[in-house]
Amino acid sequence: MRSISIMTILAAALLSWPGADARGTEVDGTIKLGGVIIDEQAGDLSAVQETYNLEEGFSFTQLRLNGNFDPKTYFSLDLANVNLRNRRGEVEFRVPSLLRFYGRYDQWRQVFDPERTVTSDRKDWRFGAIVTPKRWFTLYADYGYVSRAGDRLAFPVGTTSVFGTRYDYALHTFRVEGEVHQGPRTFALAYDHSDYRDGLSEVADRKGFVASGRVFTPCRFDERLTHFVRAAYGQSELDYSGLDYTIQNIQYTGVFGPIYRVQLRYSFFANRTDDESTELKTDDFRHDVDATYFHRYGSVFAGYGYETNDDDRSLTSYNLYTVGGSFNYRQRVNAKVEYASRNKKDLEKLTLLKDVEASRLLAKLTVQPIDRLTIGAQAKQRERDFPDIGVEAEGLSANGFARYEYEGWGSLGGEYTYTADEYDDLAGDYETESHVVTSRVVLDRIPGVRLGGGLTYLDVGKDLDIEKSIGFVEAEYTFREDYHLELKYNVYNYDDYILLDRYYTANIVWINVAYDFRTP
Amino acid sequence: MLALTLSRHDTAATDYPPTSESCVECHDDALKSLTGTVHAIDLDAEKPGVWCTSCHAGDPDAHVDDAEASPMAHPARLDARAEAAVCATCHASSHQQNMMEWNAHAENAVNCSSCHLVHGNDNLRLLAQREPELCMECHPSVEGEFSRSYRHPVLDDVIECSECHMPLAERSRTPGFRGVGDVCFQCHPQFRGPFPFEHQATVSYSTEEGGCLNCHEPHGSDQPRMLKQSYEAPHFATCSQCHLVPTHQFNVQHGSQWAGVACNQCHVDIHGSYANRYFLAPDLSLQGCTSWGCHQF
C-alpha cells in the first residue's frame, strides 16, 4: 500500500503543477472496485503460478486518470490491484518536445512450498525523465530499485546453500545519458551505476559502473554508408574482498546501401574481460558480414561471422552462417525461411565442452485470405551437438494459429503448438513432448454487453507427465453509459501424474464495478 | 529499423505553420489525433517543431490544388526501410540503432508503424497495443511458453517483453556489462558477480560458452527453476550435459550412500561461490571430506 500511496502522492504533485490552470484542466478516468472469491482444492498450492498473488475479498482493482492541464501539458496515472499483493502502477507526465517524466511500480510474490507458507516478495521501482531543452540535445535519467525479501527453499528440497533460507537484498541502479543530434548525426555519452546490498551476507555486496559512448553518423564522403560506433568501460567490485572485474569493449557497425534494394553490413566487436577471480584476461573478437536484397515482394539475405575467444588458457573459434529469405504479398501473404548455424572449434582441446555444432532451421507462413481472417503456421528445428563429450540435444517446435474477426460480432482465435525435445549424454537421456492449445472468443453482438471466453491447455508427456489447463469466461455489462459491471470466472487445473501430490484445482470469480468519469 | 538514408529532412525547418494550417483545414481530425503526444502540432509555436510535412512528404501546394493528382506520402504505407528513414529523421536513439544492428524486424517487412501508431493513440511509447499482446500478434507460440508450469510472469503484466528483448531501450538497467546475462541480472542481481570463485557456465564471455541460457529456459519450462534439463536422480542432466564426471556419477567408493544424491548437495552455490573454488559447502570441510584422500584440494 505504501508504494501505491507514493504513486498517488506523485500524481497529486503533478496535478498541482504550476501549469494546472483549473480552467484548462481536462481529466477522464476510471475507478474500479470489486471482490475476488476463491475456491481451491490442492495437494500443492505452488503448482499453478498464475494464482500466487490472488487474494479473496475486497479489491480496489483500478484507478486510472488521463488528462491535461492545458493543451500542452499531459499526465496519466494507472494503478491496479491497489490493496492486493500484486499491486502495480504507472504514472507519466509530459510536455511534448520538452519533458517526459515517468514512474512505474510493481510487485510479485513467489511461492515455493505446497502449503504456500514459504514465499518471497519482489518489488520493482522505476523513475525517469527525458528532457529535451534544445532540439539538438536530449538528456535521459533513470533510477531503478529492485528488492526481494522473504523466505526461500533450496532446490532440490533438502539441499543447502550459503544463501541460506531467506532473501533480503536490494539493487539500486542509476543511469544518465546525454544525446546530441546535429543533422543526421548523433553522439551520446552515458554513465550507469549499480549498487547491490545483501542484508544477509555482506560478502555479496557489490557495486559497479559502466561508462559508454556511441556515435551514429553517415559517412562524410558517401552518405550511402552509415557508421555506428559504441565503446564502453566498466567495472564491478565486491566491497568486502575488493575483488573486481573490468570490461572494455568497442563495437563498429557499418551499413552500406550501394543501391536502394541492396544492403551490406559489417560489424566488428572487440571485448576484453579482466577477471581477478579467475585470473583470466578474456579477449573476444567478432566479425560479421551480411548482405540483404530487398524486393517489393520480400527479401533474400545471407551472412557469415567469425569469432575468436582467447582467455590465455584456451583458444576457441566460431564460424557462423545464416541464409534465408522472406516473401510478402500485399500484406496478405508473409513467409520466411531461415537457416543458421554456429560451430565452435576448440583449437587446443582444453575447454570442458570442446567442439560444439549448433544449427537452427525456421520456416513460417502467415496468410490473410480476407480482411477478417488470418491463418499462420511455423516450424523450427534446433540441433546442438557436443561430439567430443558425447552430448546431443535437439528440439522441434511446430505451431499453427488462426484468428477471425467479424465487425459487430466479435472475434475468435486459437493456436496449437507441438514441441518435442530430446537430450542424450553418456549417462542417459531425457525426452519431453508437449501439446499446447490456447483459444479465445469475444462476442460484441449485444449492445452494452461484451462476452468472452477461452482456454489454455497444456499436456506434457514422455519423461514428464503433466496436464495443466486454464479456462475462463467473462462478461461486461455497461449501464447508465458510464458504469460497467464485470464478471469473470476462471478455472485452473494442474495434475502431475508422476509426482502425485502435485495437483491443484481452483475456481475463482472476480466481480467488479467500474465508473468512467470526465471533467465537463 | 534500417538507417541507410538517415539524412534529416529539411522540411521541419522550412515548413512553417501556414502549411500545416492548410492541412488542418481538411484534416482537422488528424491534428486532434496527435494531441498530447510527442508529435502534437503546435500551430502557435514560434520555432519549428513537428509539422505535418515532417512525416508526410510531397508537394503541399500541389496537394491543396488537387489532392488526388498530388498525394502526400503516408509513412505507414511505405516499406520498412522507407518508413524507418522518415522516423529516423528525428528518432535516432539507441532503440533505432539496435534495430539497425539486428535488423530482424525489417527483414520480415515489419515497419515502425507495425508497433507504433502515431495518430489517435495515447498508449505509452505510442505502442499500438500494450505488451505482451502486441508482440504475440506476430509471435503466437510464445503465449504457450508463458503458460508452462514454471515461467516468467509476462502474462501477469509484471514483466514486459521489451524489458529483456530491447535491453538498450529506455527500460534497461544494466547494459553491456556481462554479455547476454545482463538482461537476467536486472532482476536477479544476486547472480551477477563477480564471485571470488566463478562458475564458467554462468559468464557469457567464457570460452566454455557460458551464460544463464545454458541451464535455464527464459520464457517458461516444465522443470523447476525453469531449467532446460531435468535435475533429478540418477544423473542430473542439467549438470551432466557438461560434467560427465566418472569419479562422481559412477564412483563405487561413495557406495550407495551417495547414489542419486543431487550435485548441489555438495556443490552448493553453482552460480558462483564466495568460499570455495568447487562451490563446495563449508560444512564439508568440517566433516573431513576435504582434509584427506581424494578431496584434498
Q: Which of A260-264, A289-293, B97-101 has the lowest mean pLDDT?
A: B97-101
Residue B108 burial (C-beta neighbours within 10 Å; 0-12, 13-18, 19+) = buried
**Chain A: residue whose CA lies nearest to B195:** A277
Report how many Cβ contacts below 8 Å link chain A to chain B.
306
Chain A from 281 to 300: CB within 8 A of any B CB: 282, 284, 292, 294, 296, 298-299
The partner residue sitting opposite B268, judged by closest CB among A159, A212, A386, is A159
Q: Do A425 and B244 touch (CB under 8 A)?
A: yes
**Chain A: residue whose CA lies nearest to B267:** A161
For residues A60 and A4, give the distance between their C-alpha atoms in angstroms, rounded to a whole number: 12
**Chain B: residue whose CA lies nearest to A48:** B149
- From chain A, pick out residues whose CB is under 8 angstroms from the CB of B158: 86, 88, 106, 108
In degrees and rounded to multiples of 5, residue A364 shows phi and psi of -145, 150
Q: Do B208 and A223 touch (CB under 8 A)?
A: no
Q: Do B144 and A417 touch (CB under 8 A)?
A: yes
For residues A90 and A74, give the distance between their C-alpha atoms in angstroms, rounded to a whole number: 14
Residue A421 β-bridge partners: A395, A432
Q: Do B92 and A216 touch (CB under 8 A)?
A: yes
Give the mean model confidence (pLDDT) for residues B247-257.
57
Predicted confidence band at A317 (pLDDT cuts at 50, 70, 90)?
A: very high
- From chain A, pick out residues whose CB is under 8 angstroms from the CB of B196: 238, 241, 243, 277
Q: Do A47 and B149 touch (CB under 8 A)?
A: yes
In 3D space, the residue among B89, B176, B2 whose CA is nearest the CA of residue A190 turns out to be B176
> Is pLDDT above 60 for B251?
no
Q: Do A96 and B198 touch (CB under 8 A)?
A: no
> Is pLDDT above 60 for B180?
no
Chain A from 328 to 367: CB within 8 A of any B CB: 328, 334, 336, 344, 346, 351-353, 356
User: Given this model, what pLDDT does residue B295 score?
Assistant: 59
pLDDT (tens digit, 9 = 90+) per residue, A198-254? 999 899 999 999 898 989 888 989 988 989 898 889 998 999 988 988 989 898 989
User: Given this model, what pLDDT does residue B38 score?
Assistant: 79
User: Given this model, what pLDDT does residue A342 score?
Assistant: 94
- Compute the C-alpha angle B150/B155/B159, nearest 5°: 85
A237 touches chain B (CB under 8 A): yes
Q: Do B141 and A328 touch (CB under 8 A)?
A: no
Q: Do A430 and B230 touch (CB under 8 A)?
A: yes
pLDDT (tens digit, 9 = 90+) per residue, B37-53? 878 887 777 665 678 88
B92 touches chain A (CB under 8 A): yes
User: Given this model, what pLDDT does residue B172 score?
Assistant: 42
Which one has a higher pLDDT value, A104 or B200? A104
Give the mean model confidence (pLDDT) for residues A54-76.
88
Q: Do A423 and B235 touch (CB under 8 A)?
A: no
Contact assessment for residue A173 and residue A144, using Cβ atoms and an 8 Å cutoff: yes
> Is pLDDT above 80 for A14?
no
- From chain B, pick out residues whose CB is under 8 angstroms from the CB of A203: 274
The partner residue sitting opposite A428, judged by closest CB among B187, B224, B235, is B235
User: Given this model, what pLDDT does residue A289 score?
Assistant: 95
Predicted confidence band at A362 (pLDDT cuts at 50, 70, 90)?
A: very high
User: Given this model, what pLDDT does residue A114 score?
Assistant: 92
A196 touches chain B (CB under 8 A): yes
pLDDT (tens digit, 9 = 90+) per residue, B131-151? 899 998 888 888 889 999 999
Give the mean model confidence (pLDDT) for residues B188-192.
87
Chain B from 28 to 67: CB within 8 A of any A CB: 35-40, 42, 47, 49-50
A376 to A176, A369, A404, A417, B163: CA distances (angstroms)? 43, 11, 12, 12, 27
**Chain B: residue whose CA lies nearest to A214:** B94
- In chain B, what percentage of residues exceed pLDDT 70? 74
User: Given this model, what pLDDT does residue A9 score?
Assistant: 61
Q: Which of A14-18, A152-156, A353-357 has the lowest mean pLDDT?
A: A14-18
Q: Residue A346 corresponds to which cell in the numbers above?
A: 576448440
A111 touches chain B (CB under 8 A): no
Predicted confidence band at A3 (pLDDT cuts at 50, 70, 90)?
A: low
H or E element in which residue B97 lies: helix B94-102
The partner residue sitting opposite B173, judged by closest CB among A173, A376, A378, is A173
In 3D space, the residue among B106, B68, B60 whose CA is nearest the CA of residue B87 turns out to be B106
For residues B37 and B124, give the distance between their C-alpha atoms in angstroms, rounded to a whole number: 9
| Global pTM value | 0.87
User: Given this model, what pLDDT does residue A520 score?
Assistant: 74
pLDDT (tens digit, 9 = 90+) per residue, A433-489? 999 999 999 999 999 999 999 999 999 999 999 999 999 999 999 999 899 999 999
Predicted confidence band at A509 (pLDDT cuts at 50, 70, 90)?
A: very high
Q: Do B207 and A206 touch (CB under 8 A)?
A: no
Amino acid at position A433, single letter: E
- From chain A, pick out residues whose CB is under 8 angstroms from the CB of B38: 94, 96-97, 100
DSSP string, A81-121: STTSTT-EEEEEEEETTTEEEEEEEEEEEEE-STTS-SEEE
The partner residue sitting opposite A277, judged by closest CB among B97, B190, B198, is B198
Q: How far apart are the first and last CA of chain A?
A: 31
Residue A170 burial (C-beta neighbours within 10 Å; 0-12, 13-18, 19+) = middle
Q: Residue B26 corresponds to which cell in the numbers above?
A: 481538411
Q: Do B200 and A249 touch (CB under 8 A)?
A: no
Residue A308 β-bridge partners: A285, A317
Q: What is the ipTM of this complex?
A: 0.88
For residues A404 and A370, give the distance between their C-alpha atoms in angstroms, rounded to a whole number: 10
Chain B from 184 to 223: CB within 8 A of any A CB: 186-187, 189-190, 192-198, 200, 203, 205-209, 222
The alpha carbon of residue B86 is apart from the nearest alpha carbon of chain A, in Å, by: 12
Residue A90 β-bridge partners: A78, A104
DSSP string, A295-341: ETTEEEEEEEEEEEEE-SS-EEEEEEEEEEEEEEETTTEEEEEEEEE
pLDDT (tens digit, 9 = 90+) per residue, B158-177? 888 888 887 554 444 344 44
